[in-house]
Chains A and B, each alone.
Chain A
Amino acid sequence: MKKILLYILMGLVILYCLFPFFWTILTALKPSDEVFSLPVIYLPKTLSLENSENVFSKRPFGRYILNSLIVAGGATALTLWVASLIAFHLRSLDLKKATRIQRGLLIGAIIPPALLAIPFFVVLAKLMLVNHYFGLILAYAALNLPFAVWMLHAAFRQLPKELDEAALMDGFSPMGRLFKIFMPLSRPTLSITGVLVFIFCWNEFILALTLMPSQLKYTVPVGISMLSGASVYEIPWGEINAAVTLTTIPVILIIAVLQRWVIEGLTTGAMKG
């Protein structure tokens, strides 16, 4: 009896979490007369890909995706590179000191990005990097560095001390040790950190909005939020929902595949704050 109740509750939780997403997909698959029909049609009578096609043919949505890929990819690479250097250095310190430095970094990580938009803009404007991929990549790397350092440091610490000695014997330079031994050995952590950083960058909004204001440099979230028409009656809701679906499906697939590690990464990342 209790079990049944629990199952019902669980079903409700799933419905609550997934409903907005399902509704978006359903709307995206409807032809436009069904999108704007009253009373609301729940299951599309005819499936149509018209909306998804329009998103690409009528608007520069492909360009937005490219921008997002460049920025999120670049930022992920830069973050992982710098974070491994820092984590590698932290490993050579004693644990107490390393933890203190990390705490300092993590305080920075908790600041809401909306409050960082102005400082980032001022600095990047001085460097003439506004509207430049590299500017946004720098900002994202800075934003995600504390989290990545945390994850990598934890992974590097687990590697035994003897490994260093053996590497030293074999004539590895410190960088050689990092790139040829530590990083390959920590591949699982590196990849999960990379995936999470990528998702954070893919999803980020306010910095993308302020640091890349020209229309050709919009990332996907900014592009979608600007998709509205000139008036209430012109908003292309079918296309907007198609765009939302296309942006969210890759994220969901990644999460589905890597579920367990994502949860672990997220909790360790959050817990240590």
Chain B
Amino acid sequence: MKGGNDYMKGEKKRIGLIVTLFILLCIPVSASSKVVLRMIGPEDIGGAWAEVIRIFHERQPDIKINYISGPWSTDERQNMYIRSFLSGDPLELVYMDVIWTANFAQRGWLLPLDSWFPQEEQEKFLPRDIEASHYKKRIYRVPVRSDVGMLYYRKDLISEPPKTWEEFEHLCRRSSSPPELYGIVFQGMQYEGLVCNYLEYLWGAGGTVLDEKENVCLETRENIEALRFMKKIIEEDWAPRSVLTFQEQHSLEFFEKGKALFMRNWPYAWKRLNHSPLKGKVGIVPFIRKTGQRSAGTLGGWGLGIGRGIKHPEAVWKFIEFATSDSAQKILHMQRGAVPTRKSLFEDTDIQRESPHYKELYEVLLGSRPRPVHPDYARVSAILQKHVSAVLVGIERPPDAALAMDRSVSSYIQGKKLNWFRRLAVDYDLHKTVKNTFLFTILSVPFELFLGLCFALILNAPLRGRAMNRLSVLIPWALPTAVMAVAWQWMFNNPFGVINDVLMRIGLIQEPLNWLSSPQGAMFAAVFADIWKTTPFVTIILLAGLQSIPKDLTESLSLDGAGFPKRLLHLILPMLIPFIRIALIFRVIHAAGIFDLIWVLTKGGPADSTRTLSLYIYDLAFRYDELGYGFFLTSLFLVTLILTSVVIIKTMTLRYEKVSK
């Protein structure tokens, strides 16, 4: 650019300013001579961790522990750790849930602790907790607190607690009287807790998820039996229907009100129950099992590990050693109700006085089982959650669910070992989501074009109030998709939604439909909302097209006696072709890439029936930590979309257009 010197100078200054600002924003503030070690945990209610850290600071004055209060959600805290590892500034102290261990270890984010934590020291801890701390024969964490699923029962109502499914069934039939007194409450919402519940039935039936050679064993009689039994609990009204929305806290509140004979929950509930009207009326036993099988509670719990690539691993170990010692665990137990991981503490007189039920709890802990120790556990769990939930809600039959679980998990585990191209062929979720994406596009786009054309024709008619009309058509387009998806969720709600109400009033349906919780209903709702949202876009484009048709052409045709249908067919549609083409390309591409609407409206559920490709790719990248494969699918998807557009352009270009170019 000639004579642009001033401009270049001014420009350089400006760019310089922006870069400086940018750098300033990125510099982390840090200045301290002490060794500072950070850890993230839940909010420290009761101050137990503060107490442990205070004592540690007294003993080791040159180490400072910085306890960061993270969110309650364990997923969110896991993400905080992952982000810290990925960003190259790992947190020193890794306070982790038992199910993160394999994943973190496999990614190389943790230091093995074998040299500090020898075999004879490990033997002082509960055996199951130690087992779950290993990955590929090396140990990566020291257990701080243990946790196990078990059965609470009402001692005052039941003389002999059930051991087997049959005894349980008998007791429910005899003693429960819903809706005043149900048989059992558990955690039935679609989340990690549901898998913990499900695994106890699966193990209790003699089944397992992965065998020693990591083969998937879910298409089995045991799995079908476990799913059937869980379904039966809901169908026979032994559990209230609302358990399908319960997490731990909800179950506890329900049980606390004395409205159920049994509850499946973790040890923490005991303390609260003994400060409630049920004091002394509640007992604990290992979870129920099938006759002839062994009972097993799901092992939970938290432990401490060391982030790899940090400066002072020795200092971190000093804290871990202290925080898992007898005295620290005792503080955590007394102030926070944490279950200790050292065997000796179960004999401790103080703890026995505080928690007399620990003798029974110890037995349950010895019989517990860790969830599958696999680096991709999060993904496996997501698959299990979905199908167990689908069975409980009643949209999948147990044998179908068992089959789908097996295929889905094994295609995933196998697929990870293959290269990306081979993986395409076995990726069960990919096939399912591509099918859904296709279905969604095919159902929504033609309607949008048709309705858009109708609207454009109506709006183009010389009527009064056209401005108002055009404004109202613009509105759906201008509103945020994600926000309006929430509005549609409310309108499709059962029973409070307006759509059911309108349909019932005009007599189209007899009783409210479960729009969003049945596969077909959810797909219909998504398509319907998308049509509403995007028809205006088509209308505006086609309206511009209609206005480009010369008035005299229309008039001369009418004078020749051509009615509206004839004019539409021979003049309007041909003239509109270029506009229709553009609308079509835009709509196909955006319908195929749909994300916002479905993510908010149905989250891809129920049982994956509305999960489209974009949702799957998003999950791959941001939930399953497979950025590479997700990126690969994105590229393929993009190429497909471009090819589709080319095909549309080629097939929809009229001959005269080609000539004129």
Residues of A within 8 A of B (CB): 3, 6-7, 9-10, 13-14, 16-18, 20-21, 23-24, 27, 35-40, 89, 92, 110-115, 117-119, 121-122, 125, 127-130, 132, 134, 173-176, 199, 202-206, 210, 213, 215, 220-222, 224-225, 227, 230-233, 237, 240-241, 244, 247-248, 251-252, 255-256, 259, 262-263, 266-267, 270-271, 273
A244 contacts B245, C-beta separation under 8 Å: no
From residue B488, how far is it (CB to closest CB) to chain A in Å? 7
Task: List 6 tightest A-B contacts by C-beta distance, closest first.
Answer: A112-B593, A114-B595, A203-B480, A231-B245, A175-B7, A205-B482
Q: Identify which of B1, B490, B536, B645 contacts A27 (C-beta below 8 A).
A: B490
Query: Are B4 and A115 interface neighbours, CB within 8 A?
Result: no
In angstroms, Cα B637 to Cα A86, docked, is: 30
Closest B residue, CB atoms, query A264: B544
B610 within 8 A of A: no
Stretch from B168-176, B178-186, B262-270, B471-479 that touches the partner: B471-479
User: Which one, B245, B496, B600, contacts A38 given CB within 8 A?
Assistant: B496
From known contacts A20-B484, A38-B495, A259-B474, infer whether A267 and B540 are also in contact, taking CB-CB under 8 Å: yes
Nearest residue, chain B, Cβ from A234: B245
Closest to B79 in A: A213
Please indicate which of the listed interface residues A6, A210, A225, A266 has the most CB atoms of chain B within 10 Å of its own CB: A225
Q: Which of B467, B475, B617 contacts A21 (CB 8 A)?
A: B475
Smallest beta-carbon distance A127→chain B, Å: 8
Q: Is the CB of A17 within 8 A of B475?
A: yes
- Taking the nearest CB of chain A, how far is it from the CB of B311, in angstroms? 20
Q: A23-B491, A114-B594 are in contact. Are A128 and B630 (CB under 8 A)?
A: no
B472 touches A174 (CB 8 A): no
- With contacts A7-B463, A18-B472, A270-B541 taken as known, whether A231 is within 8 angstroms of B246 at the C-beta atoms is yes
Q: Is B469 an interface residue (CB 8 A)?
A: yes
Contact A112 B590, CB 8 Å, known A14-B469, A117-B621, A174-B3: yes
Q: List 9 A-B contacts (CB under 8 A).
A: A7-B463, A13-B459, A114-B617, A117-B621, A205-B596, A225-B485, A255-B474, A267-B540, A270-B586
Nearest CB of A to B606, in Å: 13
**Minimum CB distance partner of B21 in chain A:** A134
CB proximity of B254 to chain A, nearest CB, Å: 12
Contact A205 B480 (CB under 8 A): yes
- Complex Cα–Cα for A231 and B193 (A): 14
Chain B minimum-CB-distance residue to A121: B621
Contact A231 B4 (CB under 8 A): no
Q: Are B614 and A112 in contact (CB under 8 A)?
A: yes
Chain B residues within an 8 Å CB radius of A174: 1, 3-4, 7
Separation of A27 and B498 alpha carbons in the complex (Å): 10
**What is the interface of chain B, defined by CB distance below 8 A to chain A?**
1, 3-4, 6-7, 10-11, 22, 25-26, 71, 79, 83, 86-87, 189, 242, 245-247, 250, 455, 458-459, 461, 463, 465, 467-476, 478-488, 490-491, 493, 495-498, 501, 532, 536-537, 540-541, 543-544, 579, 582, 585-586, 589-590, 592-596, 599-600, 614, 617-618, 621-622, 627, 630-631, 634, 637-638, 641, 645
A181 to B631 Cα, complex, angstroms: 45
Q: What is the interface of chain B mostly: helix, strand, loop, or mixed?
A: helix
Rounded to whole Å, the gap between the CB of A77 and the closest CB of chain B is 12
Complex Cα–Cα for A21 and B479 (A): 9
Q: Are B463 and A10 in contact (CB under 8 A)?
A: yes
- Give every chain B residue within 8 A of A113 (Cβ-Cβ): 593, 595
Given that A173-B3, A205-B482 are contacting pairs, would A9 and B501 also be in contact in the complex, using a CB cutoff of 8 Å?
A: no
Query: Contact at B478–A10, with CB atoms within 8 Å?
Result: no
Residue of A nearest to B615 (CB): A114
* B472 A273 Cβ-Cβ under 8 A: no
Give bound CA distance, A14 to B471, whole Å: 9
Measured CA separation A248–B487 after assembly (Å): 11
- Whether A134 contacts B22 by the Cβ 8 Å rule is yes
B566 CB to nearest A CB, Å: 16
